[in-house]
Chain A
Amino acid sequence: GEDVEQSLFLSVREGDSSVINCTYTDSSSTYLYWYKQEPGAGLQLLTYIFSNMDMKQDQRLTVLLNKKDKHLSLRIADTQTGDSAIYFCADTASNTGNQFYFGTGTSLTVIP
């Protein structure tokens, strides 16, 4: 099946940029997603990118997609303490219909 990998932890200072990375194995994914999960809560859809795009910007968020290397990244500009959470990337593998595959999540800690 599809394999989605992320680094487990990231720590940044408030005001700096954060970059969260993700690699995936299925080259035929149509959409790739970023979700945010705060303690005790469900997943909040942050942004997503269509597979024929290289970049998508949405306010403080920038998503970069390198299809050749199967690498997805999420950049958060001017990171705030409220951005501290777990971030998941997800994609849908073509051979399993619309099943979402999630990474293990990256725990972002923002230091004041």
Chain B
Amino acid sequence: DAGVTQSPTHLIKTRGQHVTLRCSPISGHKSVSWYQQVLGQGPQFIFQYYEKEERGRGNFPDRFSARQFPNYSSELNVNALLLGDSALYLCASSLSGSQPQHFGDGTRLSIL
């Protein structure tokens, strides 16, 4: 079975631009979570969605938004990019929000 897939794998943007990251969960998983991992640190929670509804939001500015589609895939959007948004963005899926989460390989976002 396919694991969590994320696209693109790498992305380079400039300050002020907008970016959309995509995630397809493991088949049968209805919950998707997004994390930001800055180099040398553990992942920080951004959002969790379950059955297309937002179930949790971390301490990130309103420039960050997300949504989940009827097929349970998800998008993370970041507006007005800042240099500090450079990080590995990880998507994780689980059967439900409280079950163990399985991660994709992430999208490496670099802001110039």
Interface residues of A in 74-112 (CB under 8 A from B): 88, 90, 92, 96-105
B21 within 8 A of A: no
Partner of A102 from B43, B48, B98 at Cβ < 8 Å: B43
Q: Are A45 and B100 in contact (CB under 8 A)?
A: yes
- Determine the chain B residues whose CB is within 8 A of the CB of A33 once the complex forms: 100
A interface, size bucket? 20 to 34
Q: Mark B35-48, 1 if CB is under 8 A from A, else 0.
A: 10000011111001
**Which residues from 34 to 80 on chain A have a C-beta closer than 8 Å to any C-beta of chain B?**
35, 41-45, 48
B81 within 8 A of A: no
If A97-B55, A101-B45, A105-B42 touch, whether A42 touches B104 (CB-CB below 8 Å) is yes
Cβ-neighbour of A48 out of B35, B100, B103 (below 8 A): B100
Is A30 part of the contact surface with B, judged by Cβ < 8 Å? yes
Closest 8 CB pairs of A and B: A102-B42, A98-B97, A43-B103, A42-B103, A42-B105, A99-B45, A97-B56, A99-B56
